Structure 1
Amino acid sequence: MTKRTPELRFKGFVDDWEQRKLGDVTKRVRGNDGRMDLPTLTISAGSGWLDQRERFSGNIAGKEQKNYTLLRKGELSYNHGNSKLAKYGAVFELRTYEEALVPRVYHSFKIKKEAVADFIEYLFATKRPDRELGKLISSGARMDGLLNINFDEFMGIKISLPTVVEQEAISEFLRALDNTITLHQRKLDLLKQLKQGYLQKMFPATGESIPKVRFADFDEDWEQRKLGDLSDIVRGASPRPIQDPKWFDKSSDIGWLRIADVTEQNGRIYHLEQKISKAGQEKTRVLTNPHLLLSIAATVGKPVVNYVKTGVHDGFLIFLTPLFDKEFMFQWLEMFRPKWQKYGQPGSQVNLNSELVRKQDITISTCEEQKKIGIFLKQIDDTYKLHRRELEQLKKIKLSLLNKMFI
């Protein structure tokens, strides 16, 4: 028997959910009243409704705008284009505008008294309707990326609904959670902007020797040097063949740094899951003290501060015997990273090498000032990391709730 109640629901609701066709509880919206001065929007599976001027740096509707659909606040559209985030398209309610023009190719609709718009949006966010939508697709996406699902077919898919009161309770709860997620995302965005602002002001601009912002009691000009003057820059080494299990040993206290570790820990390594055996250690460079690295493989130019005893892969350059503060140099390399990109791309021959890095000019301050700058910017990074972890946890909670609060 088909399950008629969700795994998790609010106290006081015990009735079975009712299976209906989407078209039973919604009504089509199409056409417009001739006003062309309204916002023109597009749906992003990851972000919802976006103004075309922000998404595409301009209105891309062109002459087709006269055929756009007038959507009012509380009404919904289904973008039946497939993407990595939404294989069978995405549905969003219009909430941030009173009225807007949306592409005619979207299937736009409004709810009847038996449904709540927010609930319908969250229902599609669960991906539960994907099974129904998948049955309608006889071939892949068209040339324009849209799935060949027409409006009547879309309206014919089966959905499960509780009472309107329960729909409202579920929607209000999830919307509050979404608002919290949005606030955390804004904090992250602001921290990122703050960090970029400090990077630009706490390091001298090109051709200058004094930064715009600096700590008290520091007034000396910064000195131009080459990276090769400040450290012995060498390349890591790899045991061959790298996939041979004899090179790895879980009981070892020496880690093995991989590109995946750099990506997951965002450049500061405190833990390495994979350990390298004594045989492997003899075939690579092993460092036991905290050290600065520069990735020249898949993440070209990504700086790494490694606090773990580790064997270093040949996809990294190692800064040995440094005459600089590691955290300071990490920040400078992170800022400089875009200029390294031209030396290598994932999947192609890597051209960024130790000689190029050694010859790179850098304007640098005294060690005392470097330490202050490094500590200050790391504090921002740590705060960002904390908020990002909280945001990821909230998103996981939402995903779990979507799975448990809907049939």
Structure 2
Amino acid sequence: MQKLFSQELRFKDENGNEFPDWEVKTLGDVLIESNERTNKSNQYRILSSTAKGLFNQDEYFTRDIASKNNKGYKILRKGQLVFSPQNLWLGNINVNLEFEIGIVSPSYKIFSFSRNEAIPDFCQYFLLTPNMLFEYEQASVQGASVVRRNLDMDRFLNIEVILPSIKEQELISKFIQAIDEKINNIQAQISKVETWKKGLLQKMFC
């Protein structure tokens, strides 16, 4: 991923030609803020955005942490970006590629991607690179606690990014997704072997 995003590794098009040079943009060029809200309580499932990913809240937490009355919560649709302005510098930023629709706390920020500039599949990786996390930290101001840093939205939207063409973004994201899938398959195999090992140990020492 470091080699891909630093352009050390480049893809070519279907004819074997080089893709266009990557272009300098700002996040403000790429992101379009969404402020769509619910008009009744429990209109959609409640989602939680964390530094580990985006989750269905009742599956991730052992208790409800959202308000019982969630009317006015923000609506998050598939393909949109969501993040916590207080914890963005810690990596609490996610692209919703799993849930068709859900709701999140009004404290979150939600953005759609400009179709001419970026695709969600690419941005889910690009926006979590070490360089981007550094930029988020620089755009955040120390809050009331060590963990919380308040994001300066103007500075955030002015962060410069270098983006490939949409076609090259598609190729990069598909390549990384294929690696992710292989990792998940290997982890599943390891889990099965560990379960088998535990079963053998129980039989040996019973």
Aligned 1:185-334 pairs, distance under 5 A: 185-195=187-197, 198=199, 203=202, 214=203
Matched, 1:130 2:133: yes
Partner in structure 2 of residue 67 of structure 1: 72
- What is the alpha-carbon distance in structure 1 between the residues aligned to residue 189 and residue 54 of structure 2? 21
1:157 maps to 2:163 = no
1:182 aligned partner: 184
1:38 matched to 2:44: yes
Q: What secondary structure does 1:105 align onto? A: coil
- Could you tell me whether the CA contact under 8 Å between 2:141 and 2:152 is conserved in 1? no
Post-superposition offset of 1:158: 1.3
User: Is 2:24 aligned against 1:19?
Assistant: yes
2:131 is paired with a residue whose SS is coil
- Count of paired positions: 196
Residue 100 of structure 2 corresponds to residue 98 of structure 1:
yes
- Higher mean Cα deviation, 146-155 or 103-112? 146-155
Compare relative contact order (CA 8 Å, sep 6+) and give the higher one, 1 or 2: 2
- Of 166, 169, 178, which residue of structure 2 is paired with 1:167? 169
Structure 1: gaps (5+ residues): 204-213, 215-368, 374-407
Q: Deviations over 1:63-120 (max 9, x none)?
A: 46323211111111123454xxx85433211122111112222221110122111212
Distance in 2, matches of 1:123 and 1:96, equals 18
CA distance in 2, matches of 1:32, 1:132: 29
In structure 2, the CA distance between the partners of 1:34 and 1:182, relative to structure 1 (3 Å rule), is farther
Change (3 A) 1:177 1:142: farther
Pair 1:116 & 2:122 matched: no
Q: Does 1:54 align with 2:20?
A: no
* Gap regions ≥5 residues in structure 2: none
SS in 2 for 1:129: helix
Contact 1:41 1:100 survives alignment (8 Å): yes
RMSD over aligned CA atoms reads: 2.8
Distance 1:137 1:93, change over 3 A: closer
The residue type equivalent to 1:182 in the other structure is: N
Q: In the alignment, is the contact (CA less than 8 A) between 1:76 and 1:94 conserved in 2?
A: yes
CA–CA distance in structure 2, aligned partners of residues 92 and 21 of structure 1? 18
Partner SS for 2:181 = helix
C-alpha change, 1:144 and 1:59, in structure 2 (3 Å) is: farther
| TM-aligned CA distance change 1:5 to 1:123, over 3 Å | closer
Bigger radius of gyration: 1
Contact 2:94 / 2:124 at 8 angstroms: preserved in 1?
Answer: yes
SS at match of 2:168: helix
Distance 1:135 1:90, change over 3 A: same
Measured in 2, the distance between the counterparts of 1:194 and 1:38 equals 40
1:289 aligned residue: none
Give the counterpart letter for 1:176 in structure 2. A
Q: What is the TM-score when the length of structure 1 is the normalising length?
A: 0.43
Superposed, which structure 2 residues align to 1:317-356 within 5 Å?
Answer: none
C-alpha distance in 2, partners of 1:192/1:62?
40
What is the 5 A alignment of 1:136-147?
136-139=139-142, 141-143=143-145, 145-147=147-149
Q: Supply the distance in 2 between the matched residues of 1:17 and 1:70 (Cα, whole angstroms).
A: 32
Check the 8 A contact 1:116/1:167 in 2, yes or no: yes
- Amino acid in the other structure paired with 1:6: Q
Letter in 2 for 1:16: D
Shift of residue 191, structure 1, vs aligned partner: 4.1
